[in-house]
Amino acid sequence: MPFVRPRYARLLPISRTLLLLMLLALLAACATAPARNPMAQWVPSPNFDQRRPVLIVLHFTGGHSAQQSLQTLRTSNDSGPVSAHYLIGRDGHVYQLVADELRAWHAGAGRWGTITDVNSASIGIELDNDGQSPFAPAQIDSLLGLLTDLTTRLRIPRTQIIGHEDLAPGRKEDPGPLFPWKQLADAGFGWWPQGTLVDPPADFDPWMALGMVGYSLDNRAATVRSFHHHFRGMEGDTLDAQDLRILYALTRQPSVPAAP
| Residues marked as catalytic | 126
Which of 57, 50, 114 has the alpha carbon at shortest distance from 82?
A: 57
Give the count of beta carbons closer than 10 Å to the beta carbon of residue 200: 19
Helix ranges (DSSP H) in 91-219? 118-121, 137-153, 164-167, 181-186, 206-213
Question: If DSSP codes are grouped into helix, strand and coil, which group holds residue 260?
Answer: coil
Helix, strand or coil, per DSSP, at residue 24 = helix
* Alpha-helical runs (H) found in 189-240: 206-213, 220-232
Angle between helices 241-251 and 220-232 (to 10 degrees): 80
Contact 21, 70 (CB under 8 A): no
**Angle at the Cα of 129 from the Cα atoms of 123 and 132, rounded to 5 degrees:** 130
Specify whether the CB–CB gap between 126 and 69 falls below 8 A. yes
Measured distance CA(226)–CA(110) in Å, rounded: 13
